[in-house]
Structure 1
């Protein structure tokens, strides 16, 4: 009888220990969930696609939201001070990694922390933006993917779509280093072809209409750089250009979808996906300083068929065109 009672006590203790061990195991598992903060300057197709690609890239490397990563997405609504607040909140929340979509978002994140790994995307020149010491050897806690494409590709497309071009108009955000670099590069390349570039700056969405209207009557074509203000205002730019029978040559697919005539640009989803793969390597222990900044080599030629027809143009001298 005593033996039976002792056996019962031992079984109870053993079961209790097993239950306790099970609870401890679950707590340890939840502790393995990595916290990722995503900060995006503004919503527009290119940046949205980059975010989508980032999450997909992570998943393909084994980091799945709801399983072993927790994603906190914040949008600054095109306000730089808000980007800084978002970054500071991510630091206070002790995120394991920050994904910054756009140059201002990445700069805000770096201002907030030199310790938490930062992966950026949709940055044209990370060195000029002060994010890395060099693309090959970033140093510090930052690396990512650049959306830089040779401006000569855009100029070549402009000359093919508008053979008699003499003046190119550009609307850009004067507060974004990305835009300044592209405009300067376009001016240098165009001057070699005897083509004048007329640029007009804007810093807010409500200034875009006035800016594009100011140059629309004095140029043969409008060039849209990879500029967040331009991308989010493309429907306005294309409307004014269309009213003046002026083609718009963009730099990414979202421009064409929102009324530009054509672009020869990269896939922002693939750009974000590559950034997601980098982030996975960092979560697995690799240092951002050991991961070079990456660009995409392949570009895609996309033409808006309806806009082309309205302007009375054709794409006969273009190869490998995707029509939208």
Structure 2
């Protein structure tokens, strides 16, 4: 029977739930002031404003736009250079809390305000990147959820090593357009994990679909035995092309999101993103009821999803060990 297995550290949902009941009794300062609370949301692309899991979380907590809160969203039209202007416009709307999903939007909001509470989903390690003083007590005006953990790097590489016989050469796929501080952290951690497993590692960057084709050709010249996909939103956006190229070049790929094996790729190991988006609504609720973001612990996921596409494994000529089959949360035939 498929099971989930936990990462060793991070605050569990139960631990957070135990911290919040007393806070839930606080009345909303904005409501007390006779105005509807304003929830600000910064999105990278227009579609991000309607994030279904986040809005479902708000509805389950009783929030209805226009009735007992006002939802204000601004987006950067899918351009990193548009984030600062979008955030500045959002700050001028004077929201009571701002929600930011991803590293670049979070960094832009951090630059714009030290006063408005910020609820983030961080794609990097929050303390190392300067978003928090510690996970248990963030300090400042930021809190939320982090989906990144350095241990995930070596766990994903161990999966490749287990599946691919005589694994020696690793290609690390990175998007060239992400902020340098985030890219550097991902590359450093991936290379460290590869070194721990005695792999030769090569970082391969791409920015466009044409670059992605060339990136796989470069992996071929390197004679890569497999590919580690850096956990970046920009890479996840090219899931279907990644599947096509991995099959064409006969390269096993370990991804960080479930849609990759769902689309025909080999396997993924990572968090359930919809659950994280849903959880951020809880933070918004607590802050609107008077909680101090500096004292709300940053949550890390307690469980991870491991998904294997058995047809993809067969096409690659790989035999999945029985132990991995038993550990998988989902096996796609």
Distance 1:305 1:323 in 2: 7
Measured in 1, the distance between the counterparts of 2:77 and 2:252 equals 29
Q: For 1:57-96, what per-residue CA distance to the aligned partner results, in whole angstroms no more than 9, with x for missing partners? A: 3333332334322223344344112111111111111112
Q: What are the equivalent positions in structure 2 for 1:35-184 lying under 5 Å apart?
A: 35-42=38-45, 51-149=51-149, 150=151, 151-174=153-176, 175-176=178-179, 177-184=181-188
Tell me if structure 1 keeps the 8 A contact 2:123–2:232. no
Contact 2:173 2:203 in 1 (8 A): yes
Gaps of 5+ in 2: 1-30
Give the 3-state SS of the residue equivalent to 1:129 in structure 2. coil
Residue number in structure 1 paired with 2:299: 294
Describe the SS at the equivalent of 2:256.
Answer: strand
Higher relative contact order at CA 8 Å, sep ≥6: structure 1 or structure 2?
Answer: 2
Please give the alpha-carbon distance, in whole angstroms, between the structure 1 residues aligned to 2:186 and 2:142: 23
Distance 1:78 1:162 in 2: 37
TM-aligned CA deviation for residue 298 of structure 1: 0.5
SS in 2 for 1:279: helix
Match of 1:230 among 229, 232, 235: 235
Question: Could you say which residue in structure 1 is the equivalent of 2:28?
Answer: none
- C-alpha spacing 1:204/1:236, structure 2 compared with 1 (3 Å): same
Return the alpha-carbon distance in structure 1 between the equivalents of residues 216 and 43 of structure 2. 26
Instruction: Give the whole-Å Cα distance in 1 for the aligned partners of 2:33 and 2:220.
Output: 57
User: C-alpha distance in 1, partners of 2:331/2:71?
Assistant: 35
Cα root mean square deviation, aligned = 2.6
Residue pairs, 1:277-288, within 5 angstroms: 277-288=282-293
State the distance in 1 between where 2:148 and 2:166 align: 27
- Contact kept in structure 2, 1:137 and 1:289, CA below 8 Å: yes
Q: Is contact 1:261–1:307 with CA below 8 Å preserved after alignment? A: yes
Equivalent runs, 1:20-31 vs 2, <5 Å:
none
What is aligned with 2:252? Answer: 247
- Give the CA deviation at 1:32: 3.8
TM-score in terms of structure 2 length: 0.80
Q: Distance in 2 between matches of 1:68 and 1:194?
A: 56
Greater CA drift, 233-242 or 72-81: 72-81
Radius of gyration: which is bigger?
A: 1
Match of 2:327 among 280, 297, 320: 320
| Runs of at least 4 residues off by over 4 Å | 28-31, 203-206
> For residues 91 and 210 of structure 1, what CA distance do their matches in structure 2 show?
41
Alpha carbons of structure 1 residues 32 and 306: separation in structure 2 relative to 1, 3 Å: farther
